[in-house]
Amino acid sequence: MSTIGSAARSVSGPQSGTSGSEPRERTIYERESERLLKQRNVEVGRAVMAEKPGSGHEGDVEVQTNVYALNMGPLNIFRYDVCIVGERSGERAGVLFTKKYKDDAIAVNRRDCCRDVILSFMRVHSDLAAHARCLYNDLQSIMYTMLPLAAEPNDPNKPIDLEFEYPIDQMPNPQIFTDLHVVKIRIYFKPWRDDRGNSLVKLEDLSTLRPDIALGNRDLLQFLDIATSQEIFFHKTDGQYEHVHFSTGLSYAYYPEQFGFTGEDALTFEENNTYLALGCSKSTHLIEGSTRGRGSNCAAGLLVQPKKTPFHANCSLLDKVKALVGNDFGMERGRMVQSLNNGVKGLFVQTNHNADNIQRFPIKGLERKGANEVKIEVDGGSSTIEQYFLSKYNRQLLFPNLPLVAMNSRFANEKRVNYYPIEVLDIIDNQRVTTQQQTSSMVQQSIKKCAVTPFILKRQVHNTARSIHLWDSEYLEKAGVRLTTEPITLRAHQLNNPEVKAGDGAPQRPSVGHAAAWRINSVLVPQSLFVDGSYSWMVACFQSGGGGRGALREADLRNFLNMLEQQGKNRGIRLPSLPGDHLKMVDFRGKEDILTVFQQASQKGVAFMLCIHGDNDDLAHHFIKKCERDCQVISQCVKAGTVRNVVNKQQRLTVDNILNKTNVKLGGINYTLPRSRIATSTDMLIIGISTNHPGGGIGERSLDDAEIGRSETLSVVSEESTITGPPSVVGYAANVGPTKLPFDFVGDFMYQRARREEKVNIIESIIGKCVNYFNEVRGDKPRRVVLYRNGCSEGQFKMILKYEVPLIKCALEATGCVNATLTLIVSNKLQNMRFFNKNIQGNAKPPDQNIQPGTVIDTAVVHPTNCEFFLNSHRTLQGTARTPKYTVLYDDNKFDLTELEDMSYHLCFGHQIISSIVSLPAPVYIANEYAKRGRNLYNQYEAPANMETFGMLNESLCLEYAGWIAPHRVNA
C-alpha cells in the first residue's frame, strides 16, 4: 500500500529553478507553438505590449479600493533556488518537498515539511542565517536573502552553492517526516545568476520598466509576494501557527476571530460536515500610484481580498458518511454509493487501526459491497475483510455492511485496488471541498455569504490585512518595506450613456445612475423567418407525472400563448397563428419523448419550437438543445413556473423579455446604438472569445505522469489530434448576424485540449470563419478587427503576443484582409481588485453602496506602462461589484484611451435580450454563452466508437455543421 508520498520521483541532487528534471509545462508548450508556427512559415511575434495611449482621467467619483500602497527604499537582495529532498529507508523513492503539488493534503504536508527544514537550517547554521540578515522563503523552491549565506572569500557579493544534510530528529516536528518514512533530509541552496554571472538583484530602480514582457524582471513583485507572506508562514500565537497556506498568495486563518471576524462572517454546512473558512487572497502589483506622468509613475501595491472557501471538517470518515446519508444508513445501496462518491471521492484519508503503519491515500470511490461480503486471500486461505480486521488488529467493525472505500495501489509494479472499511479511516485536515463535492444548497448558501456589501467588505479587508500582519512584520521592517494603513482611494470618472434606438421612434438615452435601463416598445428589425409562410412553429409542454396535481394546465398555457402573440404583434414580432395540432402536451418520461417531438416537428417544416419544461429540469433543457441542433429546429425554453406567473400575475415585462429572445433567435434585432462609433464603423469586425473548461472550480486533481504521457498532455493540438478526455470549449461571437447591423452578434464554439487558455491551435480557424461570415453578410471584407479575449491571466500575455497574434495576422492575410488592422483586448472579470464608494451608509441598498454603471478607473491602481483600465458597466444588485479589468495587448488601430473605454462600454449595451447593461462587452458575453452551449452538448453526446479526433467532435456538435440554423443566434 502506498503512502502520501508515493507520487514523488527518486531525486538525487538539486534542480535549479524547477521541481524536477523535465522541462516545465510552459516551456514544452512554447516549443510546440514555435514548431507549429515554423511549419506554417509564420514568424514568432514580439512579446511587446501595446503602447499606453496617454494618461488616464480623474473624475468626480471618490472610490476606495482594496489595494494598499507599498513604500520601500533602494534594496539589494540575493536570490537562491532551493531544493529539499527527503531520503527514505530501503529502496523507496525519495520525496522532493519543493515540488508543486495540486492535491491539498499533499501540498500542505510538503509546505509544512519545507518550513521545518528551513527552521532547522536557521537553528543549526545560525551563523549563516545571521550573516544573511533575513531569509525570505516561499516554502518551495525560491528564497531571497539580504546578504549571501556564504560568499567567495574575495567577493562578498558572489554567493556560493551550499548543501546540508540533517537527520530527521533535528526537525522541529520529526513525526511528519517519519510518517513519510523519511530518514534523512538534504537541502541545496543554489545562487541565481544573470547572463553575466551576477547574483546581486537591485530592486530600487522602477523607472526602467518597459512594455517588453520578455525583458521584464519579476524579482520585485516576487520578492514582495514572498516578504508579505513570511508572517503567514512562520508567525505563532500561543505556540500554534495562525494560518494554513497553499502559496504565497492564498492562506486561511485557523482562528479568524483573533482578527475581528465574527460568527456572522463564517458558515457551517451540517449536510456534509464542511465549513466555510475565512482566508486571504493577496498579490503584489505594479501600479501608477499617486505620481502622474508617463515614465516616472511606477509604484507597487498589495491587493488584499478576503477569501471564503468551503473546507472538509477534520473528522472521521464515518462522521462524514453519517452527515451525507443519515445516521441510520437506511438509504438504498445504489443511491448511497452514488451520494458518497459525490461527497468523498478524491478526498485524502488516513488509517486509524494501526498506529505503527498509518496509510494515507485519496479515495478512488466506494464499493457497493460491505466488509462482511468481500473476501480476500490471507495466508493461503480466504477471509472476509470484517474477519481479517478482527483477527489481525483485534478490531470488531461496528458497521461491516457499509460500502467499502477503494484506493489505488501498486504491488510488484502491478496496479491493484485495495479496500478499507469506512470506520477505520479519518479525513486528513486542511482539504478544500472540490466543486464536484459541493451540494446545490451549499453553493447557494456560500454565494449568499460571500456576496457582502461594500460596507461589510471594507471591514473584512481591514481584518484580513491585520491577520497577515502587514503592519507589525519584522520581515518587512528589515527590508524597509512599509504599507499604508488605509487602502488607496482615487477619483474615477463617469462615462456618458449612449443613445439607444429601438423600432418605436426617436433614440432614448438611459439616465446615468444605477438603473441605466431603457424601454423597447417595438423591435428595431423584426424576425423575417415566418414572412412568406414557408415555416411554421410549434409549442411542446414536457411534464412528468401525466399532467397530475401541480402540472401546468393546457388552459393556462393557451392564455400564455395568447399574451405572447398579442404582445409580439404590438412589438412588431408577428408570429403566425399556431396550427391546431402544433400544441403538444407531452407526458415526459425520458429523452426519447423529446426526440420524438423534435423529429416530428422537423418533418412538418417547423422552424421554431417553444418548449415548456419543469422549473428544475436542467437535463430536459440540455437535451432539448441537443435535439435543436440535430433536428435543425430552433428552440426556446420557458419554465412552467414562469408561464404560471405570467398568467396569474400578468407579468407583461417577462413576456417582453421572452419575445426579445424569440426575435433574436429567429434573425431579428431589438435595438441599436445609432450614434456609437461601432454603429457608424461598418468596416469593423468585432469578435469575442471565451473558454469553458471541464469540471471547473477548486480542487482539480493532477494527472499522473505515469498514466498520461507528459508530452501528449501538453502538446499543441490540431483538429487531427486525438481526444483524451473531456475537452475545453472555446466559444466565439462576432457582429456577423443576419440583419447586417454592427450590434448583431452571432457565434459558435470549437473544442480543444482541456485546460489550455492559449488558443494557438484554433485561433487561426476562428478568425478565418469570422472574416468569411463578415464578407458573406456585409458584402465586403473588414478593414479593422477588434478582438476581445475573456479571462486570460497576465502570465498568458506573452504566449498570446508571441504565438496567437502572428496566427491572427496570418488568418487575415489568408482571407484577403492584408491591410486590416488589429486591436486585441483581454477582459477579466475574475480579478480581485474591488472598487466601491468611499463614503457608504451601512443601511443603504447594495446598488447605492456600489459604484454606478459607466464608472471607469484608469489612474492610480492601473499598470504604469501597460494600457489597461477598469470599467464597471453593470448594476450590482447584491454584494460588491466585480469590476472587469481591460488590458490592451496589441493595437494596430491606434485607439486613444477614451475610444477604447467608450467602445467597450457601448458594447456592454449590445446584449439584445434585456433592456439593461451587462457586465462584459456583448461579443465576450455571448461567446461565453456559446462555450456553455458547447459544454452542455458535449455532456449530452454519446460518442460513437470511432470518435477519435477534435475535428470529428467539432463536426458532430458545432453549430457550423447544423444546416440552416447555423447563422442564427440560437443560444440567445
Of 489, 483, 494, whose CA–CA distance to 861 is shortest? 489
Say if residue 19's pLDDT is above 50.
no
Q: Which three cell numbers stand for residue 374?
A: 468481500
What is the Cα–Cα distance from 932 to 926, expressed in whole angstroms? 10
Q: What is the pLDDT of residue 557?
A: 95
Residue 140: band (very low, low, confident or very high) from pLDDT cuts 50, 70, 90: very high
Say if residue 711's pLDDT is above 60.
no
Which letter does DSSP use for residue 382 in this model?
Answer: E
Dihedral over Cα of 764, 768, 769, 771: its sign:
positive
Return the HEC string of 680-735.
Answer: HCCCEEEEEEEEECCCCCCCCCCCCCCCCCHHHHHCCCCCCCECCCCCEEEEEEEC
Say if residue 121's pLDDT is above 80.
yes
Domain ranges of the chain: 76-202, 317-428, 536-665, 677-693+707-965
Q: Of 3.30.70.1380, 3.40.1410.10, 3.40.640.10, 3.40.50.2300, which CATH number belongs to 536-665?
A: 3.40.50.2300
Say if residue 208's pLDDT is above 60.
no
Mean pLDDT of 226-249: 97
What is the Cα–Cα distance from 508 to 673, expressed in whole angstroms? 10
DSSP 294-322: TTS--EEEEEEEEEEEEEE-SSBHHHHHH
Q: What is the pLDDT of residue 691?
A: 92
Assigned architecture for domain 677-693+707-965: 2-Layer Sandwich (3.30)
Instruction: Measure the CA angle with vertex 723, ends 720 and 726; round to 5°.
Output: 140
Contact 233, 239 (CB under 8 A): no
What is the Cα–Cα distance from 730 to 750, expressed in whole angstroms? 5
Q: Rg for the chain (alpha carbons), in Å? A: 30
For residues 129 and 794, the model is more confident at 129
How does pLDDT run across 916-953, given as a tens digit for each residue?
999 999 999 999 999 999 999 999 988 776 777 888 99
Contact 717, 947 (CB under 8 A): no
How does pLDDT run across 627-641, given as a tens digit for each residue?
999 999 999 999 999
Q: What is the pLDDT of residue 490?
A: 96
Using CA atoms, how far residue 135 sits from 129, 157, 189, 479, 794, in Å, is: 7, 16, 12, 10, 28
Fold equal for 536-665 and 677-693+707-965? no
Say if residue 6's pLDDT is above 80.
no
Contact 469, 282 (CB under 8 A): no
Of 758, 751, 754, 760, whose CA–CA distance to 702 is shortest? 754
Tell the residue number behind the cell numbers 500554534, with chain if given. Answer: 240
Beta-bridged to residue 55, according to DSSP, are none
Residue 749: band (very low, low, confident or very high) from pLDDT cuts 50, 70, 90: very high
How does pLDDT run across 396-429, given as a tens digit for each residue?
999 999 999 999 887 667 888 899 999 999 999 9
Q: In the CATH hierarchy, which fold is given to the domain comprising 317-428?
A: paz domain (2.170.260)
Q: What is the pLDDT of residue 14?
A: 39
Of 834, 835, 837, 805, whose CA–CA distance to 821 is shortest? 805
Contact 278, 306 (CB under 8 A): yes
Q: What is the pLDDT of residue 751?
A: 93
Cα dihedral 967, 963, 622, 938 in deg (nearest 10): -100
- Weakest mean pLDDT among 92-101, 457-466, 504-513, 817-826: 504-513
**Residues belonging to the chain:** 972
Helices (H) then strands (E): counts for the chain: 26, 41
Q: Which three cell numbers stand for residue 947?
A: 470518435
Instruction: Measure the CA angle with vertex 949, ends 943 and 950; round to 5°.
Output: 90
Interacting residues of 330 by C-beta distance below 8 A, sequence separation 6+: none
Provide, rounded to the nearest whole percent, the portion of the chain with pLDDT above 70. 90
Mean pLDDT of 711-738: 72
Compute CA 165 distance to the chain's CA centroid, rounded to the nearest angstrom.
Answer: 41
DSSP 431-468: -BPPGGG--HHHHHHHHHHH---HHHHHHHHHHHHHHT
Report helix, strand or coil for 277: strand
Say if residue 669's pLDDT is above 50.
yes
How does pLDDT run across 853-909, given as a tens digit for each residue?
999 999 999 999 999 999 999 988 889 999 999 999 999 999 999 999 999 999 999
What is the Cα–Cα distance from 329 to 335, expressed in whole angstroms? 11
Residue 12: band (very low, low, confident or very high) from pLDDT cuts 50, 70, 90: very low
